[in-house]
Amino acid sequence: MASTRTPHQIRNFVAGQFIDGVATFEKRSPVDGSLVSEVHEAGRVHVNAAVDAARTALETGWAAASVQKRVTLMRRVADIIERRFEDFVAAESADTGKPLGLVREADVPRAAANFRSFADTVASAGLHSYLTELNDGRSALNYAVRKPLGVVAVVVPWNLPLLLLTWKVAPALACGNTVVVKPSEETPATATLLAEVMAEAGVPAGVYNVVHGFGPDSAGEFLTTHPGIDGVTFTGESGTGSTIMRAVAASVKPVSFELGGKNAAVVFADANLDKAVDGLARSVFLNTGQVCLCTERVYVERPIFDEVAAGLAERARALRLGRPDDPNTTTGPLISLGHREKVLSYLKLAQDEGAGVIAGGGVPALGGDLDAGAWIEPTLWTGLDNSHRTVREEVFGPVAALIPFDTEAEAVRLANDTAYGLAAVTWTSNLERGHRVAQQMRVGMSWVNTWYLRDLRSPFGGVALSGIGREGGEHSMHFYTEPTNVCVQL
C-alpha cells in the first residue's frame, strides 16, 4: 500500500486508497509557524465517493460480519497503534504543539485503549428479553436485537484529535457501522495515519474513510448535509453543533454532540489545600486549557480565598513553555494564531471588565523562531463575578476566574449559573458534602477531589449547550445501534 504522505503531503482516504483533493492548504506548526504539511482538501465529489464507499462496505459485508470478526479487528488495530506508537506521537505533537511527554502519557495510549475497551463492550453485550403473559392465556417472548445505525459522519476537533477520533470510531466500527471521518483542518495527521493502521489490520476498504477540509462550503458541510449518512457524531463548539443539528433536522437523523463548557470548580475551606490547588492547576492549564473539561470558573470559600489564589498563581508561573521535545516543557502553545486572537480578546475583555490579573495576562517572549508561534501566558483573574462576559463565555485557553463564596448553597447556585453543563469539580474533605454537592451540579460529569479521572465504561457527555447524548461503554451503543424488537407468540 502507498504511504499516507509523501513529504509534507496528507491525502484523503476513500475506499481503501489515498487520493488527491481539489486543492491543498498548509498546516503550520503552532510552535514556531514552520510548515508541517500540505493537506489535500476534499471537494464535494470526494465526499460523495467516501459516503458511497462507506455505504457499499456496510451493505456488502461489514454490517453482517460477526461480532467476533469485528472485535478481533479492533483489537488488532489497537496492537498496531502500539507498535507504531512513536509515529503517532510525532504526528500528534507536530500538529498540536503538545509536549511529547503529554502525548506519550495520554493521547496515544488512550487511542489503543479505546479500541480495546469498545471491543470488550460489544463482545460482552447480550440480548434483553421479556416473557409476556396475557389474560387470555397466551404468552409471548419479546427480545431486542441491535443493528448498526449505518453510515456515520464522524467530525472531530483539534484539541484531542487522536483521542476523540478513536473514542468515536472504535464503537462505531465495533457495532458494525462504517464511517466517514472529517478531522479538523488544524490536526489532519493522525486520522490519516490511522487509515494506514486500518488497512494493515485488515479492515475492509470503505469501512473507514477520511476527508480533509474546512467547515462551511467544504468537507464539513458536504459531509454533514449529505443525504447518504445515517447519523452525525461531533465534538466541538456549541455553535457548530447547532449548525449541524439544523442541517440534519429535515431528515430527522440522530446526532451525538459533545460541545463546549464553562466548567466550575468549588473549593471548600475544609479541603486539602495542597491537593486542591494541584488539582486546580491541572484542570485549568492541562493542554494549555484546550480541553472541553477544563476549569474556567473557580469558586473558593472566602476564608481560604487568598491562600488558594496565591497557590494557584504560583503554580501558573512555574509552568514552562517551550518546544515539545524539550523534557522541561510542561505547556505547549495554543493550536493556532487565529485561536490566540480569540483568547487574547478575552484577556482584553477581562481587563475592561475590571479583572485583577494575578498571573499571566499576555503573550510571552520566548525568543527566536518561537515568537512566531501561538504562545500565551497561563492567566488567572480575580475581581470578576457571574455577571461578566469573561465568566459566562467559553474561552478555551489556559485561563480561569477566581471568585469567593460564603455558603454551600451559594456555591452550588454560582456553579450552576451557566448556559453550559459539561463538568464540575468539588474539593472538600467532607465526603457527605462532596456527594451532596456533586449531585446538585447540573452537568454530565461531576468529580469530587479529582479531575479527568475516567472509566471508559461510564457515561460521558453534557447537558444544555454542552451537548446531546452520552458516550462510553454501553452508552455509546445507544447511538451507534438501532434496536429492533422481535415478538414471538408462544
Whether 347 and 377 map to the same domain: the answer is: yes
Query: What mean pLDDT is predicted for residues 435-444?
Result: 98
Report yes or no on 298 lying in a domain.
yes
Q: Please state, in angstroms and rounded to a whole number, the distance separating the CA atoms of residues 411 and 267.
A: 9
Provide the 10 A C-beta neighbour count for residue 135.
5
What are the tens digits of pLDDT across the range 454-463?
999 999 999 9
- Active-site residue (options: 185, 196, 258, 394): 258
Provide the 10 A C-beta neighbour count for residue 320.
11
Please state, for a pLDDT cut of 70, what percent of the chain lies above it. Answer: 99
Whether 254 and 394 map to the same domain: the answer is: no
Confidence of residue 5 (pLDDT cuts 50, 70, 90): very low
Torsion sign across C-alpha atoms 446, 448, 449, 450 = negative
Whether 351 and 324 map to the same domain: the answer is: yes
Query: What mean pLDDT is predicted for residues 327-345?
Result: 98
Torsion sign across C-alpha atoms 50, 55, 58, 60 = negative
Query: Mean pLDDT across the chain, nearest whole number?
Result: 96
In this prediction, residue 8 carries a pLDDT of 77
Whether 144 and 234 map to the same domain: the answer is: yes
What are the tens digits of pLDDT across the range 148-177?
999 999 999 999 999 999 999 999 999 999
Confidence of residue 194 (pLDDT cuts 50, 70, 90): very high
Whether 210 and 268 map to the same domain: the answer is: no
| pTM score, whole prediction | 0.94
Number of domains in the chain: 2
Query: What mean pLDDT is predicted for residues 31-40?
Result: 97
Q: Which domain holds residue 179?
A: 9-259+465-489
The backbone region for 45, taken as left when phi is positive above 0, alpha when psi lies in -120 to 50, beta otherwise, is: alpha
Q: Are 208 and 179 in contact (CB under 8 A)?
A: yes
Report yes or no on 124 lying in a domain.
yes
Report yes or no on 430 lying in a domain.
yes
Whether residue 3 is predicted with pLDDT greater than 90 in this model: the reply is no
Confidence of residue 435 (pLDDT cuts 50, 70, 90): very high
In this prediction, residue 217 carries a pLDDT of 96
- Cβ neighbors of 81 (< 8 A, separation 6 or more) are 88, 108, 111, 112, 115, 194, 197
In this prediction, residue 351 carries a pLDDT of 96
Whether 210 and 325 map to the same domain: the answer is: no
Whether residue 221 is predicted with pLDDT greater than 60 in this model: the reply is yes
CATH number for 281: 3.40.309.10
Confidence of residue 134 (pLDDT cuts 50, 70, 90): confident
Whether 249 and 302 map to the same domain: the answer is: no
Query: What mean pLDDT is predicted for residues 17-33?
Result: 97
Whether residue 371 is predicted with pLDDT greater than 90 in this model: the reply is yes
Whether residue 126 is predicted with pLDDT greater than 90 in this model: the reply is no
- Cβ neighbors of 73 (< 8 A, separation 6 or more) are 173, 201, 202, 203
Report yes or no on 3 lying in a domain.
no
Query: What mean pLDDT is predicted for residues 371-386?
Result: 98
Whether 441 and 338 map to the same domain: the answer is: yes
Report yes or no on 207 lying in a domain.
yes
Query: What mean pLDDT is predicted for residues 253-258?
Result: 95
- Active-site residue (options: 292, 294, 296, 353): 292
Whether 195 and 121 map to the same domain: the answer is: yes
Report yes or no on 18 lying in a domain.
yes
292 is catalytic: yes
Of 391 and 131, the structure prediction assigns the larger pLDDT to: 391
Please report the beta strands in 7-61, taking only residues with DSSP state E, as ranges in sequence order: 9-10, 12-14, 17-19, 23-28, 35-41
Report yes or no on 2 lying in a domain.
no
In this prediction, residue 136 carries a pLDDT of 87
Q: Please state, in angstroms and rounded to a whole number, the distance separating the CA atoms of residues 231 and 236.
A: 16
CATH number for 472: 3.40.605.10
Whether 379 and 309 map to the same domain: the answer is: yes
487 is catalytic: no
Whether 31 and 122 map to the same domain: the answer is: yes
Q: Please state, in angstroms and rounded to a whole number, the distance separating the CA atoms of residues 260 and 246.
A: 18
Query: What mean pLDDT is predicted for residues 38-45?
Result: 98
Report yes or no on 460 lying in a domain.
no
Confidence of residue 4 (pLDDT cuts 50, 70, 90): very low
Whether 76 and 14 map to the same domain: the answer is: yes
The residues with which 482 forms a beta bridge, in sequence order, are 147
Provide the 10 A C-beta neighbour count for residue 409.
11
Whether residue 69 is predicted with pLDDT greater than 70 in this model: the reply is yes
